[in-house]
Amino acid sequence: MSPGSTLTRHERLHRALTGQPVDRPPVWFMRQAGRYLPEYRAVRQRVSFLDLCGDPDLACEVTVQPVDRFDTDAAIVFSDILTIPEAMGMEVVFTEGRGPVLPRPLRTRADVEALVHPDVATALPVVPATLRRFRAARPDTPILGFAGAPFTLLCYMVEGSGSKDWLHPKQLLWSAPDVAQALLDRLADMVGDYLQAQIDAGAAGVQIFDTWAGVLTPEDYTRWALPAAARALARVKGAPRIYYTKDTSPFLHLVRQTGADVIGLDWRVEIGAARAALGDVPVQGNLDPVALYAPPEEVARRTTAILDAGGGTGHVFNLGHGVLPTTPIPGVQAMIDAVKAWRPPSAG
């Protein structure tokens, strides 16, 4: 990169995800199409969350919303990580304010063996269709695909809902390790095929969300979540693969062993320290989502501090976790503006 030149959004995202010099890091953020946006809430007054996830036209409409409002450098396709458990035959219920519930969680070997293992192209057509619609609607903006990581999907499928302690998934790992392993293997293959289908439909990259891997000890992470994520990622070719986890910063050297091209960071680690621990791999993150509730000048200060410490190259700016539903728009705008105003030190 020569100082002063600018990149297209496609170039900027691809170069950042592959560790090449950029004019400035690209910015997008997790759950950027969501309830904090009045235009999203307006759509949701008309349709349920499940109907929105199931309709490529509507899903494309809300995917576009934050791109048009904030001129983000990338979109992420609107969907939910529980589409895979649904396609495997599990009922998933979304209740306002409670999060997803799976009324019949997997607890026995028979439960796991009763799952179906459908062909991804047949069973999960909505997200690829949404990606194609977005590419036609906003050809200048790259769009990311995503899926839940195998261990995080296992957590929901075995617990039956979100949880603080994830008692049932951990008990399955330790009391019936062969059942847990069989489930992780099947999930890893589904997840990999699903991500590949998204790249084939035009995704500029894919992110795998292993949000709950951080409830594990380093030993359990190494035994369960890491190889399952690695197995899923190894099936995916043709575009950069981002691996996001939360609460795993005490063992980033293990996280890197997933083989992901880019490592997503939560807000609990200083980005410079994380890069030192990870070695030469691009990173994504890592502003505290709650920081967007701070006064805008404080949001800008924190954003700039992360960009400075990140070093500019091999960094995709993002939050450290999904944007919260009550987030004030001025905070989001201050973050976006600060990223766009930033330049690497060498560019003067």
Question: At 37, is the secondary structure helix, strand, or coil?
Answer: coil
Q: Is 231 a catalytic residue?
A: no
Give the number of other Cβ atoms within 10 Å of residue 104's Cβ: 12
Q: Is 71 in the site for its own copies (CB under 8 A)?
A: no
Q: Is 48 in the site for its own copies (CB under 8 A)?
A: no
Q: Which of residues 50, 123, 294, 347 is near its own copies by CB under 8 A?
A: 294
In sequence order, the β-bridge partners of residue 319 are 287
The least distance separating its own copies from the CB of residue 311, rounded to whole angstroms, comes to 17
What are the residues whose beta carbons fall under 8 Å from the beta carbon of 162, sequence distance 6 or more? 99, 100, 156
Nearest partner of 189 among 117, 242, 102, judged by Cα: 117
Q: Which stretch binds its own copies (CB under 8 A): 3-11, 22-30, 150-158, 241-249?
A: 241-249
Q: Is 266 a catalytic residue?
A: no
The least distance separating its own copies from the CB of residue 35, rounded to whole angstroms, comes to 14
Q: Select 185 or 298, whichever has its Cβ closest to its own copies.
A: 298
Q: Is 35 a catalytic residue?
A: yes
DSSP 290: G
Nearest partner of 16 among 238, 232, 205, judged by Cα: 205
Q: Which of residues 41, 108, 219, 234 is near its own copies by CB under 8 A?
A: 219
Give the number of other Cβ atoms within 10 Å of residue 333's Cβ: 16
Q: Which stretch binds its own copies (CB under 8 A): 104-112, 130-138, 224-232, 263-271?
A: 263-271
Alpha-carbon distance of 297 to 302, in angstroms, equals 9
Residues engaged in binding its own copies (CB under 8 A): 165-167, 170-171, 174-175, 214, 216-220, 247-251, 267-270, 273-274, 288-291, 293-295, 298, 305, 324, 326
Catalytically annotated residues: 31, 35, 44, 80, 156
